[in-house]
Amino acid sequence: MLVYTGTKSSFMRDVENDDIAPIIEKNVLQKMHRKTNAPEFRSWQNSMQYMYKVVNDADIPDDCGVAIEYNVPLTDKRVDFILSGLDGDGRENADIIELKQWESAEAVPGMEAVVRTYVGGARREVTHPSYQAWSYAALIADFNESVQDRQIALHPCAFAHNYEVDGTSALEAEQYEPYLEMAPLFGRHDLRKLREFIKRDIKRGDGQRVLADIDNGKIRPSKSLQDALASMMRGNAEFTLVDTQKVFFEKALWYARASQADGRKRVYIVRGGPGTGKSVIAVNLLVRLIQEGQLAAYVSKNSAPRNVYAAELKGTRRKSDVDALFKGSGAFVNMEPNTYGTLVVDEAHRLNERSGLYGNVGENQVGEIIRSARCSVFFIDESQRVTIKDIGTVDEIRRWAQAEGAEVYEDALESQFRCNGSDGYLAWLDNTLQIRSTANWDIEAIQYDFRVMDSPEQLEREIRRRNVRNKARIVAGYCWEWPAVSRNDASRKDIRIEDWSISWNLSGSNTFAIDPESVNEAGCIHTTQGLEFDYVGVIVGPDMRFEDGRVVCDASRRAKTDKSLSGIKKLAREDPERAHRVADEVIKNTYRTLMTRGMKGCYVYCTDGPLADYLRRSMGRAAF
Q: Provide the mean pLDDT of the chain.
A: 90
> Confidence band (pLDDT; 50, 70, 90) for 314?
low
How far is residue 344's CA from residue 309's CA, in Å, rounded to a whole number?
15
SS3 call for 276 = coil
Helices in 191-349 by DSSP H: which ranges?
191-201, 209-216, 225-233, 244-262, 278-291, 303-313, 319-325
More confident of the two residues 235 and 89: 89
Does the pLDDT of residue 275 top 80, yes or no?
Answer: no
How far is residue 69's CA from residue 84's CA, in Å, rounded to a whole number?
14
- How would you classify the pairing of strands 106-107 and 114-119? antiparallel
Q: Can you state the angle between helices 303-313 and 225-233, rounded to 10 degrees?
A: 50
Does the pLDDT of residue 485 top 60, yes or no?
Answer: yes
Instruction: Give the CA-trace dihedral at 67, 71, 77, 83, to 10 degrees.
Output: -20
Q: Are 162 and 129 in contact (CB under 8 A)?
A: no
Single out the residue of 593, 582, 440 nearest to residue 530, CA to CA: 593
**What was the pLDDT predicted at 169?**
96
Does the pLDDT of residue 316 top 90, yes or no?
Answer: no
323-327, 367-371, 437-441: the lowest-pLDDT one: 437-441
Does the pLDDT of residue 604 top 90, yes or no?
Answer: yes
Does the pLDDT of residue 509 top 90, yes or no?
Answer: no
37-51, 227-241, 498-512, 526-540: the lowest-pLDDT one: 227-241
For 540-575, how does the pLDDT look when each residue is reduced to its tens digit (9 = 90+)?
A: 999 999 999 999 999 999 998 888 888 888 888 999
Single out the residue of 312, 526, 271, 546 nearest to residue 411, CA to CA: 271
**What was the pLDDT predicted at 554?**
94
CA dist 492 to 83, 457, 506, 527, 610, Å? 59, 18, 10, 19, 30
> Confidence band (pLDDT; 50, 70, 90) for 223?
low
**What was the pLDDT predicted at 622?**
45
Supply the DSSP symbol for 271: E
Does the pLDDT of residue 15 top 90, yes or no?
Answer: yes
Does the pLDDT of residue 624 top 60, yes or no?
Answer: no
Supply the DSSP symbol for 336: P
Q: What is the reported pTM? A: 0.81
**What was the pLDDT predicted at 319?**
64
Single out the residue of 417, 347, 413, 340 nearest to residue 371, CA to CA: 340
Does the pLDDT of residue 489 top 90, yes or no?
Answer: no
How far is residue 270's CA from residue 410's CA, in Å, rounded to a whole number?
6
Instruction: Give the CA-trace dihedral at 378, 120, 414, 210, to 10 degrees.
Output: -140
How far is residue 335's CA from residue 349's CA, in Å, rounded to a whole number?
22
Does the pLDDT of residue 337 top 70, yes or no?
Answer: yes
SS3 call for 603 = strand
Single out the residue of 214, 230, 227 nearest to residue 141, CA to CA: 214
How far is residue 441's CA from residue 42's CA, in Å, rounded to a whole number?
28
The stretch 588-612 carries a mean pLDDT of 95
> Confidence band (pLDDT; 50, 70, 90) for 2?
confident
Does the pLDDT of residue 224 top 80, yes or no?
Answer: no
pLDDT above 70 coverage of the chain, percent: 94
How far is residue 243's CA from residue 246's CA, in Å, rounded to a whole number?
6
SS3 call for 126 = strand
More confident of the two residues 440 and 251: 251
**What was the pLDDT predicted at 258?**
97
More confident of the two residues 484 and 403: 403
How far is residue 99's CA from residue 81's CA, in Å, rounded to a whole number?
8
How far is residue 176's CA from residue 161's CA, in Å, rounded to a whole number?
19
For 77-115, how does the pLDDT look when each residue is reduced to its tens digit (9 = 90+)?
A: 889 999 999 999 999 999 999 999 999 999 999 999 999
How far is residue 281's CA from residue 379's CA, in Å, rounded to a whole number?
9
For 437-446, how does the pLDDT look when each residue is reduced to its tens digit (9 = 90+)?
A: 876 777 876 7
24-38, 199-213, 326-340: the lowest-pLDDT one: 24-38
